[in-house]
Amino acid sequence: MWGVGAATFALNSKQQSPPAASWWVVFLDNTDQANALAYHDLTNEGLPISKVFVKTIQADKASLSVGASHEICEMAVDPWLNSAYQDPGGTFWAGEVCDPVEDDQYGYDIGGVRVTDFVTPNWFGHKNSVGAIDLQQHARTAFEVLTGGYAQKFDPQKGWVQVTGARAARTMRGSQAAPGSRRERRARGWNKWALSTHTFER
């Protein structure tokens, strides 16, 4: 429904550089480790990079597989963090497909692994759009942020501002956009993004 093609995933050894032209999904403890290891906003070739902050997710007592699939799906749909959709009032909302329905309770299982729910194009839709708002049909209306979810909308004076569900506001991940996260990178802007300088040691 988002026009995303197939992808292959391969675990990369720490001693070997990833294949040329690959996008990266990096599992890191937290933002401190990301900075210490010089994993920045794009791969060393300037291609999309996702970061899964494992200890941050664990501190929220949330599912790692939901968190990882969340980052992978959003990177696949909006790799450059520049899509946005206009609501009936003229406000633009970031094209993040998992944030509004973030929370383990909304996920579903694939092969015994719990994965994230995500919104369909109807979440950003016109009032006459027909069909599910999100894959698991938890949301009832377009632009609805569920209690475990959050979203970014663009304010002409303030820039990107976050709308946060009540449950999400009580979590580390939902309550604030961590440095290096998609929300933080979108708000920071392309011209301030840095390539990864991580060294893969042989």
The residue among 97 and 187 lying less far from other proteins, judged by its C-beta, is 97
Q: Which residues of this protein are in contact with other proteins, per CB under 8 A?
A: 4-12, 14, 18-19, 21-29, 33, 37, 39, 52, 54-55, 58, 64-65, 68-69, 72-73, 76, 111, 113
Residue in the block written with tokens 């304010």: 155
3-state secondary structure of 146: coil
DSSP helix/strand/coil, 163: strand
- 81 vs 74: CA distance, rounded Å: 9
Q: Which amino acid is at 112?
A: G
Tally the C-alpha atoms within 13 A of residue 77's C-alpha that lie toward its C-beta: 21
User: What 8-state DSSP symbol labels residue 182?
Assistant: H
Whether the Cβ atoms of residue 201 and residue 12 lie closer than 8 Å to each other? no
Q: How far is the CB of 181 from other proteins (least distance, A)?
A: 16
Closer residue to other proteins in complex, CB, 27/92: 27
Retrieve residue 85's tokens: 């959709």
CB distance 135 to 77 below 8 Å: no
**Taking the complex as a whole, how short is the minimal distance between the CB of residue 132 and other proteins, in angstroms?**
17
CB of 61 to other proteins, least distance (A): 13
Q: How far is the CB of 127 from other proteins (least distance, A)?
A: 29
Cβ proximity to other proteins: between 29 and 87 the closer is 29
> Of 37 and 163, which CB lies nearer to other proteins in the complex structure?
37
Q: How far is the CB of 91 from other proteins (least distance, A)?
A: 28
7/161 with CB nearer other proteins? 7
Nearer to other proteins, 69 or 164 (CB): 69
The least distance separating other proteins from the CB of residue 146, rounded to whole angstroms, comes to 21
For 59-107, give the DSSP string.
HTT--HHHHHHHHHHHHHH-TTS--EEE-TTS-EEE--SSGGG-SGGG-
List 134's β-bridge partners, or say none: 119
